[in-house]
Amino acid sequence: MPAPRRLVVLVSGTGTLLQALLDAAAEPGYPAAAVAVGADRDGTEGVERARRAGLPTFVERMGEHPDRASWDRALLGRVRSHAPDMVVGAGFMKVVSAAFLDGIGAPMLNTHPSLLPAFPGAHAVRDALAAGVAVTGATVHRVDAGLDTGPVLGRAEVPVRPGDTATTLHERIKTQERRLLVEVIRRLARADAATASREPQT
């Protein structure tokens, strides 16, 4: 069996998406595993989950840098030090630069609580309710220099129910986000392993 693909996971909150990846990696044959977890703030449950799992963690606070570009470079250095095959934004609430994406040497994935390209941005669930759509959902996409504009890698629909609030709808979307992220990474990691196995050995 090839070695699991190395994931560096970035979090800002409770880390339920991270936990889904940790649980998946505990299953025999899952082709990816987190090797480090980073955050942009102190005291997140996501970082605590990683520590309980015995993973290296780091926190890169924007307020400790003179400007956003300096923070971005520092975050890049932290991520690159763990040699990722993929970087995963798992509820990471900061926008990274094109220079970060070019520098990490690996694709970056992100989840979003809508069926992109519909409702990009920080208020996707609220915006979907305001628009009166019957169906919204979750998307996993590759991060590019735009805001939620990267190539879609997987989507899952979530019906909007009568009486839904942003909270109740978002909870159902999160369930699909966790499942979808695990499955998309499984598919990409297996494709990477298959490609590597076909490459000539030197």
Which tens digits make up the pLDDT trace of 156-195?
999 999 999 999 999 999 999 999 999 999 999 999 877 7
For the full predicted model, state whether its pTM sits above 0.85. yes
Q: Is 141 a catalytic residue?
A: no
Structure tokens at 44: 């997140």
Instruction: Give the CA count within 13 Å in the CB-facing half-sphere of 154.
Output: 18
pLDDT digits (tens, 9 = 90+) for 35-88: 999 999 999 999 999 999 999 999 999 999 999 999 999 999 999 999 999 999
Token pair listed for 4: 């699991």
Give the C-alpha separation, 77 to 74, whole Å. Answer: 5
For residue 189, give the nearest of 71, 33, 79 by alpha carbon. Answer: 33
- Average pLDDT, rounded, for the chain: 95
* Cα distances (angstroms) measured from residue 78 to each of 8, 37, 44: 10, 10, 18
Residue 202 has pLDDT above 60, yes or no: no
Beta-carbon contacts of 138 under 8 Å, excluding residues fewer than 6 positions away, are 111, 112, 113, 114, 115, 155, 156, 158, 173, 174, 176, 177, 180
Residue 4, amino acid: P
Q: Where in the chain does DSSP place strands (E)?
A: 5-11, 32-39, 57-59, 86-89, 108-112, 135-142, 152-159
Catalytic residue among 82, 112, 141, 170: 112
User: How far is CA 146 from its chain centroid?
Assistant: 16
